[in-house]
Amino acid sequence: MATTETTARAPARKRLWPRILLVLLLVLASIAAIAWFANRTAINGYAVTGASYAARVGCSCRYIGGRSIGDCAKDKVAGMEMVSLSDDPSTRSVTASFPLVASQTATYREGYGCVLEEWED
């Protein structure tokens, strides 16, 4: 009789694990979402600062140094791997962006060098 009880419990336990795992994943995702939105201001501030730095350096490299944007993109410092640079030759500007978080543009102005555009919140 003990063997039939044991075999009856085993399939029930096997069906229970996916539900427990799903609940744990939902709890972890909820905690991650709360942490993300609670720290969004800090994360956004760092991202805008990093994008501003990359845009300014990229613009200087491109329009003062006379190098290609692809060549300038290789000069990123450690920690800036996620930043992407794009060039607009018609306005002589470079835009740096962190995907889904922040972007910033620097424009070359004669006599002033590369100047950051105003920040937008």
Q: What local confidence, expressed as pLDDT, does residue 100 receive?
A: 81
Q: What local confidence, expressed as pLDDT, does residue 5 receive?
A: 57
Instruction: Return the H-helix or E-strand segment holding 57.
Output: helix 40-59
Residue owning tokens 């009856």: 8
pLDDT per residue as tens digits for the range 24-81 = 999 999 988 887 676 666 677 888 888 999 999 999 999 999 999 989 888 888 878 8
Instruction: Tell whether the model's pLDDT for residue 6 goes beyond 70.
Output: no
Judged by DSSP in three states, 119 sits in coil
